[in-house]
Amino acid sequence: MARFLTVFYSDHFLNHDTGAGHPECPDRLKACVSALKNSDYLDKLVWKSPRNATEQELNWIHSVQHIENIKQVCETGGGYLDSDTPVCSKSYDIALKSAGAWLDGLEVVLDKNSALILSRPPGHHAERNRAMGFCLFSNAALAAVAALKHDEINKVCIFDWDVHHGNGTQNIIYNNPDIYYVSTHQFPFYPGTGSQIESGEYNNVLNIPLPAGVGSDLYREKFDEVVIPFIQKSTPDLIIISAGFDAHRRDPLASINLETKDFEYMTRKLQKIHPYLLVGLEGGYNLQALGECCEVIAKVLIDDVRAKTAKRA
């Protein structure tokens, strides 16, 4: 099994109905799945349907009031949690499954393999007491907190390359000395957070705000000279990637101009710090870019595993 990449996905994620014209739509996941199933390494992918996270697990990072509010809105037929975040009657259960996918992915990584999470709704804008920005529950933060409950994990680092700052992840881990968070994001931009002065209670947060129009050269410079040293200094036992692909130059909602190969580059560099990565989908709203990026990242994870397997043999 060491030569395979586990992908967590369920058709149930397609039933989170955000309404006509909403950018966070089921076609996003369809594009990712289609790209992987038409790749030349399909036989190296293990597809698994995730479990639902429990309310007790969600309560590790979210208040009871937050969880109950989302449940009640969905039970009464749905509505808007904020102006950008619609839910339908099925969205609560689907969000539980999305969170559960990240927890299942964690178990795979603890077993010394990488995992790719293709789920929705995304999570990095969801704060402890607030759903916003298409996000209901903070999936990456939940996986990080869950990881620390295992004896072999003492420190976790979350790298968020989504073009929007992950205010929710930051909000939840801000005063946790064992979870480090680093974000590269367009600034000023939604959600308005992510300035350099936001550094965490234990200097465990690093924000790298970037102006609109930034391309590959400056982005890679910041990644190599700022992101990588911060992650190395944190000496993580686990690296989680909040993998939004809306910093791609084709994305319609933002103005950072990365290429598909830039996401491949970052994944390879992160594997040199830790060979087994937990990679989960956040944003990204151009379907072609989404498919391409998922495909190259999966290939990186598979190729790296093949190399390690050959060396052990």
Please list the active-site residues.
125
Residues recorded for the chain: 313
CA distance 133 to 192: 12
Position of tokens 């790749």? 39
In sequence order, the β-bridge partners of residue 156 are 179, 238
What would the two tokens of residue 160 be? 């968020």
Alpha carbons within 13 A on the beta-carbon side of 146: 25
**Token digits for 36?**
């992987």
Mapping DSSP to helix (H, G, I), strand (E, B) and coil, where does residue 117 land? Answer: strand
Which of 43, 16, 13 has the alpha carbon at shortest distance from 29? Answer: 13
Is residue 151 within 8 A of residue 44, CB to CB? The reply is no
Sign of the C-alpha dihedral computed for residues 184, 189, 195 and 200 taken in this order: negative
* Beta-strand pair 85-88/78-82: antiparallel
| Structure tokens given for 220 | 């890679």
**Residue entry with tokens 């989504």:** 162
DSSP code at position 234: T
